[in-house]
A and B are shown apart, each in its own frame.
Chain A
Amino acid sequence: MKYQSQKVALYYIYGALTLFAAQILFGVVAGTVYVFPNVLSELLPFNVIRMIHTNALIVWLLMGYFGAAYYLLPEECETELHSPKMAIIQFWLFMAATAAAVVGYILGYHEGREFLEQPLPIKVGIVVVALMFLYNTTLTLLKGRKTAVSNVLMVALWFVALLFLFAFYNPSNLAVDKMYWWYVVHLWVEGVWELIMASILAFLMIKMTGVDREVVEKWLYVMVSLSLFTGILGTGHHYYWIGTPGYWQWIGNVFSTLEVVPFFAMVVFCFYMVWKGGRDHPNKAALLWSLGCSVMAFFGAGVWGFMHTLSSINYYTHGTQITAAHGHLAFYGAYVMLNLAIFTYALPYLRGREPYNQQLNMWGFWITTSAMAFMTFTLTFAGVVQTHLQRVLGMNYMEVQDQVALFYWMRLGAGVVVLIGVTMIIWSLVVAPRGPRVTAGARLPAE
Chain B
Amino acid sequence: MEPDQDTIAQHDDSGLMDHDPQSASDAWGGLEALPGHPLMWVLILSELVVFGAFLLTFSAARIGDPAGFANDQLHLDRVMGGINTLVLLTSGLFAVFAVRAIKKDAVLQCRVWLAGTAVLGIVFLIVKLIEYGTKIDAGIGLETSTFFTLYYLITGFHALHVVMGLGVLGVVAIWPNLTNIETGTAFWHMIDMVWVLVFPVIYLLR
- Contact present for A226 and B142 (CB under 8 Å): no
Chain A contacts for B10, CB-based, 8 A: 445
A278 located at the interface, meaning its Cβ lies under 8 Å from any Cβ of chain B in the complex:
yes
Give Cα A399 to B4, complex, Å: 59
Check B39–A247 contact: CB distance below 8 A: no
Chain A min CB distance to B113 (Å): 28
Q: From DSSP, what is the main secondary structure of chain A's interface residues?
A: helix
User: Is the beta-carbon distance between B5 and A210 smaller than 8 angstroms?
Assistant: yes
| Inter-subunit contact A281/B27 (CB<8 Å) | no
Residues of chain A contacted by B11 (CB below 8 angstroms): 280
0/1 interface trace, chain B 14-33, chain A, CB 8 Å (1 if under): 00010110101001100000
B149 adjacent to chain A (CB < 8 Å): yes
Give the distance in Å from the alpha carbon of A313 to the alpha carbon of B11 in the complex. 54
> 1/0 per position for A217-239, CB-CB distance to B under 8 A?
01001100110011000000000
**Distance of A435 from chain B, by nearest CB (Å):** 15
Q: Give chain A interface residues in 428-447, CB to chain B under 8 Å.
A: 443-445, 447
CB distance A218 to B27 under 8 Å?
yes
Given A214-B27, A250-B150, A251-B153, also A445-B7 (CB < 8 A): yes
CB-defined contacts of B142 to chain A, threshold 8 Å: 245, 247
Are A208 and B5 within 8 A (Cβ)?
A: yes
Docked-complex contact A225 and B153, CB < 8 angstroms: no
From A176-184, A253-261, A328-336, the one touching the partner chain is: A253-261
Residue of A nearest to B24 (CB): A214
A281 x B6 contact (CB < 8 A) = yes
**Selected interface stretch from B46-54, B101-109, B127-135, B165-173:** B46-54
The winner among B1, B42, B143 for most chain A CB atoms within 10 A is: B42
The answer to whether A447 touches B2, judged by C-beta atoms less than 8 angstroms apart, is yes
**B50 and A255 form a contact (CB under 8 A):** yes
- Partner of A246 from the list B22, B54, B57, B143 (CB cut-off 8 Å) is B143
The distance from the CB of A346 to the nearest CB of chain B, in whole angstroms, is 11
Which single member of A215, A225, A444 contacts B42 (CB below 8 Å)? A225
Does A254 contact B27, Cβ atoms closer than 8 Å?
no
Task: Please name all residues of chain B whose beta carbon is closer than 8 Å to the beta carbon of A211 when the two chains form the complex.
Answer: 19, 22
Residue B63 interfacial (CB < 8 Å) = no
Contact B7 A444 (CB under 8 A): yes
Q: Are A281 and B8 in contact (CB under 8 A)?
A: yes
Known: A229-B46, A246-B149, A250-B149. A210 touches B9 (CB 8 A): yes
Q: How far is the CA of A254 from the CA of B58 in the complex (A)?
A: 11
Asked if A277 lies at the interface with its beta carbon under 8 angstroms from chain B, I say yes
Tell me, in angstroms, the Cα distance from A226 to B5 when the chains sit together: 26
Interface check B201, CB cutoff 8 A: no
Q: Is the CB of B4 within 8 A of A207?
A: yes
Q: Which residue of B lies closest to A233 (CB)?
A: B50
- Is the C-beta of A108 less than 8 angstroms from some C-beta in chain B? no
The residues in A between 288 and 345 inclusive whose CB is less than 8 angstroms from any CB of B are none
Report A63-111 residues with CB < 8 Å from chain B CB.
none
Q: Mark A10-45, 1 if CB is under 8 A from B, else 0.
A: 000000000000000000000000000000000000
From B4, B24, B38, B54, A254 is in contact (CB under 8 Å) with B54
A121 at the interface (CB under 8 A from B): no
A250 to B150, CA, bound (A): 8
Which residues from 134 to 152 on chain B have a C-beta closer than 8 Å to any C-beta of chain A? Answer: 142-143, 149-150, 152
Most chain A Cβ neighbours within 10 Å, of B8, B19, B143? B8
Report the minimal beta-carbon distance from B206 to chain A, rounded to whole angstroms.
20
Q: Is B43 part of the binding interface, using a Cβ–Cβ cutoff of 8 Å?
A: yes
* A247 pairs with B153, CB closer than 8 A: yes
B4 interface neighbour in A206, A246, A255, A445, Cβ under 8 Å = A206
Residue A243 lies at the interface, judged by CB distance under 8 Å to chain B = no
Does A123 make an interface contact (CB < 8 A)? no
* Chain B interface residues (CB < 8 Å from chain A): 1-11, 13, 17, 19-20, 22, 24, 27-28, 38-39, 42-43, 46, 49-50, 53-54, 57, 142-143, 149-150, 152-153
Extra A-B contacts (13), CB below 8 Å, given A222-B39, A250-B150, A280-B9: A206-B5, A208-B6, A209-B5, A212-B24, A213-B1, A225-B46, A245-B143, A247-B142, A251-B153, A254-B53, A257-B53, A277-B19, A280-B11
8 A-B pairs closest in CB distance? A210-B5, A215-B27, A278-B17, A254-B53, A206-B4, A247-B149, A213-B4, A229-B46
